[in-house]
A and B are shown apart, each in its own frame.
Chain A
Amino acid sequence: MTQNPSSAKSNTKLPFAISMSGINKHFGLVHANRNIDLDIYRGDIHGIVGENGAGKSTLVSILYGFYTADSGTISLNGTSHHYNSTADAIAAGIGMVHQHFMLVPNFSVLENIVLGHEGGVNLTTSMTKARQMLEDLSQRFGLNVDLDAKVADLPVSLQQRVEILKALFRNASILILDEPTGVLTPQETDQLFVILRILKDQGVTILLITHKLREIMAVTDRISVMRDGAIVAHLNTAETCAEDIAHLMVGRPVLVEKQWHQCDRGEAVVKVSDLSLNGSDNEANPILSPLDFEVHAGEIFGIAGVAGNGQSELLELLAGIIPPSGGSIDYHGQRIDAKTPASPLDIKSLGVAHVPEDRHASGIILPFSAAENTILGYEDAATSGRWNMFTSPALIHERCSGLMQDFDVRPPNPHLKSSLFSGGNQQKLVLAREMSARPSILLVGQPTRGVDIGAIEFIHHQLIAMRDAGCAIILVSVELDEIMSLSDRIMVMNNGKKMGILNRDEAEVKHIGLLMAGVK
């Protein structure tokens, strides 16, 4: 670990890089930040962890000038600051790398970095000056990027470097990184951590926002844990462990140990052969190159890969949302191919249920009540009359109450608007709806994205119970931990191609990471 207690102690004499005290922020009825006191040592890598909705983003947004706090003070390097916009925060030496990069894809790296800091009417001279400065910077921090490359052509990890360079170019001495590893392979994550350590050695203070406990343990010096808008603990990383942090985040002990146990594999119920999908420019750039795999009853088939490598499209193909360009899918002997495509309804009738990746766009309709959402795609279950034409509110309500009870959805109020439920409870609603159809094949995309730890535990437990009951589960997730802890077999995808299928016992993170990066 990176912890060095003696250096940490020597830092205490210096003023804090960031010192926030008594920060409060309300959004309407929500008290998003409660009396936050946070001191961050200069040159530290400081982690802020917490579940979704714990107030991490709000806190960071206040620090970065997106929001103004209702009360409280912020001082940077010992001087008190009061700023009203992000421009003020940048001027005060704060840089931020957002989870979703803020880059112009068809600009070069240099143009992107200079954007907003052109420094004069004459672009040529400022560009030359900027180039000089950036070459110094990249040498100093080991951030090698081709300044003339088009951003759209760069892999995600390099785009992230551009974002970091952009912040440093604006003289940031404090760097905030919001969920920086979400889009990276394990190897790229390690590379990022190397860069962060170099930055630290050069005196940059780093604030790392994440929900991945393993990473926060690996790279930070100190950790602040947030829950319900308040900071519940400040910890030295060396003196704590992942279980303790999880406990603090949730407020009760959490089972971090794996729930997986040996599966009882049945016959192959899903057979995919030569399945392919062309891109928008037709056959030149396929989204999916011909894929072959089989999934058996009673197993969880995990599909690993960095986001955007074709897994999402594969899931939509399997669910019938988009038709394949070539090859076939076989469910219980029913063949689906480009000539005889099947609609999502047809596929549903074959006993396939689908928990979509994007809960908010597809899985539920946010302005609808919970009850209304539990019949989405299963309208027959809630209709009466001769042609199943009329919906029965009583029936929908009763059905929803039952599902809420089975899946521990809180609050158990079927009338409540779906957007008012937490991410975890929304996901439980979707799972409840799909599992209530008693599918023999279950397609699951990102089951725990934006879901709190308590609900993750519950959802994983449900998936394993489904598997034990003989259901074939295809699980797509960008969380490698999730894939590793649930899957019986793992298929790794890169750039729309199958990189390999590994059995659980032969799968290790390093190997999978290489496959995710496209190295065989």
Chain B
Amino acid sequence: MRRPLPKWIDIGVMPIINIFAAFVVAGIIIALIGENPITALSVMVKGAFVYKGALGYTLFYATNFIFTGLAVAVAFHATLFNIGGEGQAMIGGLGIGIVALSLDPLLPPLLVILLAIPMAAVFGAIWGMIPGWLQAKRGSHIVITTIMFNFIASSIMVWLLAGMLMAPGQMSPETRHFAEGVGLLQIHQIANAIGIPMARSPLNLSFLVALAALVGVWVLIWRTRLGYIIRATGHSEKAVIYAGHDPAKIIMITMAISGGLAGLMALNEILGVQERVILNFTSGYGFTGIAVALMGRNHPFGILLASLLFGALYQGGAEIDFEFQTITREMVLMIQGLIILFSGALALMFHPLMERLYGMIAGPDSITSPPKTKRAEHG
């Protein structure tokens, strides 16, 4: 007898089973190439959480995933698939670069930072809004346009970084360093300053911005009028027109918010670590954001958990790569791929089995067989 799963199993237990299955398959593959999967796993966990500074690195990567995951999630609430997080983050970085490079000789660093942060969001928002406009007014499919806008963004970055923004007197495609002090404080610096010992890691204030963004997106989607209309647009454009709103406008606004969140990812990499604009600083975080949103079911809390998982995979994976000769970076990518496969594409694979199992344990449903439960109560 199958029985529908209660929410706590559906949301709480199922993802764990899916991730477990992914690790089992990954473990088999690691065993096949002659390594001990248990040792590999323990290296990975230690590398992600235990070693000195490891947690900082994990949270640093998680910060990137929170931004790009939220970007995908916000768009998804209006059933828009924003595949362009990568490009929007690049352009966000460009926004920071333009503000910082042009103003750092003139203004104090703090002011430059305060101007640069919103610029990352604004630039990303514009880069997200253009495909939104094309979708809303011209009917060009958002998936296609956002993918193409990744390529355009990438080309613009190459053109600028190898051209007018390239630091004078050097060969690599990157800008000069921002002036002293134009960068976000790192968490270990702050911790050490107030007397808490903490190992060095690139984790910086962007993490707090990311946490604020998580809360902000939750409020936006579930507690504001705009969020209500965004969700309504996602379910039924006809109903939105009937209610007196313009879906075209909503699509553009949603894509702007989504692009803005992706653009903020540049805070972490550019203002947090590099303090200059470099090529390909996004290194695929925009795309992984799709998997993060998928796993986190487009809910900020889920995205937080998924980001932590992916952050740990990145950091722990780097550690495996370092410790084992045979396990390469590509193997780590494969494990990530398996997790995405099991928790995204195959998410419902274990569902029928679990429903049957739950039916066996919890007994037949009380709605379909009310007499039985009644008798049990009286007896």
Residues of A near any B CB (own CB < 8 A): 26, 28-29, 31, 319-321, 343-345, 348, 354, 356, 358, 361-368, 372, 375-377, 379, 383, 388-391, 393
Any A CB within 8 A of the CB of B225: yes
CB distance from B351 to the nearest CB of A (A): 13
Q: Mind listing 21 A-B residue pairs with CB under 8 Å?
A: A29-B365, A321-B241, A344-B243, A361-B238, A362-B236, A362-B238, A363-B239, A363-B242, A365-B239, A366-B236, A368-B235, A376-B243, A377-B242, A377-B243, A379-B228, A388-B225, A389-B224, A390-B224, A391-B223, A391-B224, A391-B225
Contacts of A379 in B (CB 8 A): 225, 228-229
Distance in angstroms between the alpha carbons of A302 and B236 in the assembled complex: 28
- B9 CB-CB contact with A under 8 Å: no
**B residues near A348, Cβ cutoff 8 Å:** 244
Cβ B239 vs Cβ A364 within 8 A: yes
Q: CA A393 – CA B219 in complex, angstroms?
A: 12
Contact partners of B241 in chain A: CB under 8 A: 321, 344, 362
A361 with B225: CB separation less than 8 A: no
Contact A377 B235 (CB under 8 A): no
Residues of A within 8 A of B243 (CB): 344, 376-377
Cβ–Cβ < 8 Å partners of A343 in chain B: 244, 246
Chain A residue at minimal CB-CB distance from B227: A391
Q: A26-B368, A28-B4, A31-B368 are in contact. Are A376 and B232 (CB under 8 A)?
A: yes
Are A389 and B226 in contact, with the CB atoms below 8 A? Answer: yes
Minimum CB–CB distance from B348 to chain A (whole Å) comes to 15
Report B's interface with A, CB cutoff 8 A.
4, 219, 223-229, 231-232, 235-236, 238-239, 241-246, 365, 367-368
Q: Would you call B235 and A367 a contact (CB within 8 A)? A: yes
Chain A nearest CB: distance from B239 CB in Å? 5
- Given A29-B367, A368-B232, A391-B225, A344–B239 Cβ distance below 8 Å? no
Chain B residues positioned under 8 Å from A377 (CB to CB) = 242-244
Q: Are B236 and A361 in contact (CB under 8 A)?
A: yes
**Cross-chain contact B235 with A345 (CB below 8 angstroms):** no
Q: Which residues of B sit under 8 angstroms from A383, Cβ to Cβ? A: 225
CB neighbours of A362 from chain B (8 A): 236, 238-239, 241-242
Do B225 and A390 have beta carbons less than 8 Å apart? yes
Q: Which residues of the other chain, A, contact B228 by a CB distance below 8 angstroms?
A: 372, 375, 379, 391
Residues in A whose Cβ lies below 8 Å from that of B238? 358, 361-362
User: Hey, which chain B residues are within 8 Å of A367, CB to CB?
Assistant: 235
The residue in B232, B236, B239 that gathers the most chain A C-beta atoms within 10 A of its C-beta is B239
Complex: chain B residue closest to A322, CB-CB: B241
**CB <8 Å contact, A345 and B244:** yes
Identity of the chain B residue whose Cβ is nearest the Cβ of A361 in the assembled complex: B238
Contact of A365 among B236, B244, B367 (CB under 8 A): B236
What's the Cα separation between A31 and B364 when bound, in Å? 14
- Chain A residues with CB under 8 Å of B242's CB are 319, 321, 344, 354, 356, 362-363, 376-377
Residue of B whose beta carbon sits closest to that of A392: B223
Nearest Cβ distance between residue A476 and chain B, in whole angstroms? 15
Most buried by B among A26, A348, A377: A377
Residues in chain A near residue B219, CB distance under 8 A: 390
**B367 contact set on A, CB distance < 8 A:** 29
Shortest Cβ distance from residue A321 to the other chain B in the assembled complex, whole angstroms? 6
Question: Roughly how many angstroms separate A345 CA and B367 CA in the complex, as a whole number?
Answer: 43
Q: Which chain B residue shows the least CB distance to A356?
A: B242
Cβ of B233 to closest chain A Cβ, rounded Å: 10
Q: A321-B242, A390-B225 are in contact. List 20 more A-B contacts (CB 8 A).
A: A28-B4, A29-B4, A343-B246, A344-B242, A344-B244, A362-B239, A362-B242, A364-B239, A365-B232, A365-B239, A368-B231, A376-B242, A377-B242, A377-B243, A379-B225, A389-B224, A389-B226, A390-B223, A390-B224, A391-B225
B241 — nearest CB in chain A belongs to which residue? A321
**B contact residues around A320 at 8 Å (CB):** 244
Q: Are A29 and B368 in contact (CB under 8 A)?
A: yes
Name B239's contact: one of A31, A361, A375 (CB within 8 Å): A361
Q: Which residues of A contact B226 (CB under 8 A)?
A: 389
Select from chain B the residue with minimum beta-carbon distance to A380. B225
Q: How far is the CB of B224 from chain A (nearest CB, A)?
A: 5
- Complex Cα spacing A93 to B228, Å: 52
CA distance A76 to B367 in the complex (A): 34
Nearest-Cβ distance from residue B290 to partner chain A, whole angstroms: 22
Give the complex CA separation of A26 and B235 in angstroms: 28
From residue B189, how far is it (CB to closest CB) to chain A in Å? Answer: 37
CA–CA, A391 and B227, complex, Å: 9
Which residues of B are found within 8 Å of A363, using beta-carbon distances? 239, 242
